[in-house]
Amino acid sequence: MLFDRKELSDEQLVYFYRSLLWPRMIEEKMLVLLRQGKISKWFSGIGQEAIAVGATLALEKEEWIMPMHRNLGVFTTRDMPLSRLFMQWQGAKEGYSKARERSFHFGSREHAVCGMISHLGPQLAIADGVALAHKLKKEHKVALAFTGEGGTSEGDFHEAMNVAAVWDLPVIFIVENNGYGLSTPVNEQYRCINLVDKARGYGMEGVQIDGNNLLTVYDTIKGVREFCIKHQKPYLVECLTFRMRGHEEASGTKYVPQDLFRLWEQKDPIKNYEQYLLDTGVLNPATIAEIRNELKDKIETELAVGFNTQPVVADTEEELEDVYQSLDDSLPASARLFDNSHLTPDNRHLTPDTRHLTPDKRMIDAIKEGLHQSMQQHSNLVLMGQDIAEYGGAFKITEGFVQEFGKERVRNTPICESAIVGSALGLSLEGYKSMMEMQFADFVTVGFNQIVNNLAKIHYRWGQNADVVIRMPAGAGVGAGPFHSQSNEAWFTHTPGLKVVYPATPMDAKGLLIAAINDPNPVLFFEHKALYRSISGPVPEDYYEIEIGKARHVREGEEISIITYGSGVHWADDYAAEHPEISIDILDLRTLLPLDYFAIREAVQRTGRVLILHEDTLTGGIGGEIAAWIAEHCFSLLDAPVMRCASLDTPVPFNTELENNFLAKARLDETVQALLNF
């Protein structure tokens, strides 16, 4: 192994040695503790430490890194104290995630380390978002993300690489190619000769290096960083290496030929670098012994602190509160670069000024106005979506925006839904707000993992918010068939950490969209396509909010309460107008997560008979959850069973006759009559 020190001083070489040795010695101690039963699990990076350490040394300390579960060297090189890391690994409250995560599934804004989820690919797109933020701010910074050779088989790898290339983002992708994805060898993982060859297919530069040579890794990443900043381009670095332990300790290494261990033992990154320092006289055996003894003592001192933790006591109130970032939480330091004075607690919850109503506006125009005013209000708001720039989006809601706000803030995206959701989260790390338009809500399936596992959980896991709104054009009634007509809101109401909003009127659509953009938490904003141009109503001209989580009492009634949202509000209102002989009370939920349980209880109390109406299919729809809650909490107020009226449990058919039969509206009358006659 050849080492080239270039301009590095002796002091730097020694510092690099200590940085490389530190995670190795920690790991060796962790393996002892694992055998003693003092820790429960360990993912070893022994044999490939040079990549994490060298790459981290080559970056500025405030540049975000997206590590994986075998990158202890990232955390230690960023000077995260072992005592607290150990608390984290132990599942102690004093760790980085309040005992909610184990291993390396956590992040730290202070150290610019973004916590991973178990899936291998999503980290890459977050790096895209961070790099985009640097590009927008004109900062000379990069973002760096790790993945393994197995992770390159995932769609997230393809999407993140493609977006980075198309948008010319200063992001570094490191592939740690250690030959095995758990037990699957590379010849069963891909057919290209070298993974770095994939770079050319995305129109980016790439290089393959010896990942066990610390100085090669450092010098390469340092040079790549300079390239990315100068040319505003991404770069792929394939680091050849080997892990000397199993995927995790319980899995063992029986599937690996013993010859490979003998070969890679000779390429050990620490032994070779140490020998280089001895050969060049930078260190001598006595100094090395001193360093090792010093680090050994430091480990014992830090572990004594790390073991000294209090038993975890569950606090239900704290657990629930930490799912979402409070609207009154102070903004992260990075967000102070923007004018956020309008987000102060004194004026955040604006209310509609009904003294200044415009003539009736269509819902689509109200949404456009809310989005437009939000772009004026927030200089850090970025819009992303397929065809949303010059074309104005599939429904023309953003038409004209690119001319006013520019292509940096109104961004056409490749067809990479997962990567764009991940990029939105990356923007949030750097204090940006983002709105992503799913061209149709049906297409959210290919971004599902990023939404339910990354956006939704990140604040609960390590206190990082996801300031992201995803607009979801949804619903049937327009003859668009099974892939452009679904009502899929219930997929997300089951996911703590998300907020799910579904307006039924133009006034609510504008105010709720503004509130969603002001909210620091991830919001899925459902818009019914059939209501875009068919529904009109008064809309205040001003910039105002409708509070998320508050239902709207639409109509007073005494005989039956219809609890609904979206298109169901209009079905119910039309039905009530056509049947004046029935005194119908109507509640528009407006927000599906969190639900307004107080308003639901009041609706039950007003009539004692409840019908839950929604366009979503019956089984698994949110109506079942609401009915169960009413049965548990309002049983004494009921005069009849709670009934549901929903669409058929089939895909949405294309033919309009079949579609009309599919929709819940077709069964509204018979359900109302059944409830009244009970």
Calpha distance 428→409 (Å, rounded) = 14
Answer yes or no: is pLDDT of 250 > 90: no
- Give the span between the Cα atoms of 344 and 329, in whole angstroms: 10
pLDDT at 136: 98
Q: Report the chain's mean pLDDT, rounded to a whole number.
A: 93
pTM of the model: 0.93
> Residue 614 has which token pair?
């929604």
Q: Are residues 268 and 405 in the same domain?
A: no
pLDDT value at 337 more than 70: no
What local confidence, expressed as pLDDT, does residue 347 receive? 42
Using pLDDT thresholds of 50, 70 and 90, give the confidence band for residue 350: low
Q: Beta-carbon neighbour count of residue 138 at 10 Å?
A: 6
Least confident of 184-193, 263-272, 517-526, 580-589: 184-193
Q: Are residues 209 and 232 both part of a single domain?
A: yes
Q: 226: domain CATH number?
A: 3.40.50.970
Please report the pLDDT score of residue 39 as a whole number. Answer: 84
**Are 103 and 95 spatial neighbours (Cβ–Cβ below 8 Å)?**
no
For residue 649, give the DSSP letter. S
Q: What is the pLDDT of residues 423-476, one digit of tens each?
A: 999 999 999 999 999 999 999 999 999 999 999 999 999 999 999 999 999 999
CB atoms within 10 A of CB 192: 11
Tokens (6 digits) for 239 = 């680091």
665 pLDDT more than 80: yes
Q: Are 596 and 551 in contact (CB under 8 A)?
A: yes
Mapping DSSP to helix (H, G, I), strand (E, B) and coil, where does residue 212 land?
A: coil
203 in the same domain as 280: yes
> Which amino acid is it at 324?
Y
Helix %, strand %, coil % of the chain (to 5): 45, 15, 40
Query: CB 386: neighbour CB atoms within 10 A?
Result: 21
pLDDT at 244: 81
pLDDT > 90 fraction of the chain, expressed in percent and rounded? 85
Q: Which of 505, 540, 575 is the last residue of a domain?
A: 540
C-alpha 524/C-alpha 517 separation (Å) is 11
How many whole angstroms separate alpha carbon 84 and alpha carbon 63? 22
Query: Would you list the DSSP string of 369-430?
Result: HHHHHHHHH-TTEEEEETT-STT--TTSTTTTHHHHH-TTTEEE--S-HHHHHHHHHHHHHT
Q: Are residues 389 and 527 in the same domain?
A: yes
Number of domains present in the structure of the chain: 3
Does residue 598 belong to any structural domain of this protein? yes
Indicate if 111 and 222 belong to the same structural domain: yes
Query: 344: pLDDT confidence band, cut at 50, 70 and 90?
Result: very low
| Mean pLDDT, rounded, for 562-581 | 98
Q: How far apart are CA 121 and CA 268, in angstroms?
A: 27
Distance CA 507, CA 546 (A): 9
Same domain, 145 and 293: yes
Give yes or no for a contact between 106 and 71, defined as CB atoms under 8 angstroms apart. no
What is the rounded CA–CA span in Å between residue 420 and residue 446? 11
Strand, helix or coil for residue 535? coil
Round to whole Å and give the CA distance between 49 and 21. 9
Of 489, 520, 540, the residue that ends a domain is 540
Burial class (CB in 10 A: 0-12, 13-18, 19+), 289: exposed
Q: Which domain holds residue 225?
A: 10-248+264-307
Could you say which DSSP state residue 179 is in?
S
Joined together, the tokens standing for residue 227 give 């390239």
One domain, residues 567 and 628: yes
User: What's residue 175's pLDDT?
Assistant: 97
Judgement on whether residues 534 and 557 belong to the same structural domain of the protein: no
Torsion-angle region of residue 99: left (phi > 0), alpha (psi -120 to 50) or beta? Answer: left
* Whether residue 488 has pLDDT greater than 70: yes
DSSP output for 592-626: EES--HHHHHHHHHHHS-EEEEEEEESTTSHHHHH
Close Cβ partners of 161 (under 8 Å, ≥ 6 residues apart): 124, 173, 198, 199, 202, 204, 234, 236
Instruction: Give 330's pLDDT tier (boundaries 50, 70, 90).
Output: very low
Q: What's phi and psi for 71, nearest 5 deg?
A: -115, 50
The pLDDT assigned to 338 comes to 45
Residues in the chain: 678
Sheet containing 610-617: give its strands across: 552-555, 584-588, 560-564, 610-617, 643-647
Determine, yes or no, domain membership for 325.
Answer: no
Structure tokens of 486?
Answer: 């679904």
The catalytic residue positions are: 484
Query: Is the pLDDT score of 343 beyond 70?
Result: no
- Domain shared by 478 and 590, yes or no: no
In a domain, 328, yes or no: no
* Both structure tokens of 476: 């049937």
Mean pLDDT of 340-360: 57
Inform me whether the pLDDT recorded for 499 exceeds 90.
yes
Does residue 113 lie in a domain region? yes
Of 62-66, 323-327, 577-581, give the lowest mean pLDDT range.
Answer: 323-327
- 224 CB burial (10 A radius; 0-12, 13-18, 19+): buried
Q: What is the pLDDT of residue 120?
A: 83
Residues 277 and 134 in one domain: yes
Q: Range with the lowest mean pLDDT among 260-264, 296-300, 605-609, 648-652?
A: 260-264
Question: How far, in Å, CA of 98 to CA of 310, rounded?
Answer: 12
CATH number at residue 668: 3.40.50.920
The CA distance from 493 to 515, in Å, is 18
Whether the Cβ atoms of residue 122 and residue 482 lie closer than 8 Å to each other: no
Q: How many CB atoms lie within 10 A of CB 171?
A: 35
Spatial contact of 220 and 209, defined as CB atoms under 8 Å apart: yes
The predicted-structure confidence for 24-45, as pLDDT tens digits, reads as follows: 999 999 999 999 988 888 888 8
- Residue 329 belongs to some domain of the structure: no
Residue 586 corresponds to which amino acid? I
Does residue 59 surpass a pLDDT of 60?
Answer: yes
Q: Could you tell me which of 473, 512, 290 has the C-alpha nearest to residue 388? A: 473
Which tokens in the block code for residue 354?
Answer: 């009904």
Residue 319 in any domain: the answer is no
Asked if 430 and 134 count as a contact pair (C-beta separation under 8 A), the reply is yes
First to last CA, the chain: 84
pLDDT in tens, 93-115: 999 999 998 788 899 999 999 99
User: Would you say residue 1 lies in a domain?
Assistant: no
Strands 584-588 and 552-555: antiparallel
Q: Inter-axis angle of helices 506-518 and 363-377, to 10 degrees?
A: 30
Residue 595 lies in a domain: yes
Whether residue 557 sits in one domain with residue 452: no
Place of tokens 């109390």: 605
139 and 25, same structural domain? yes
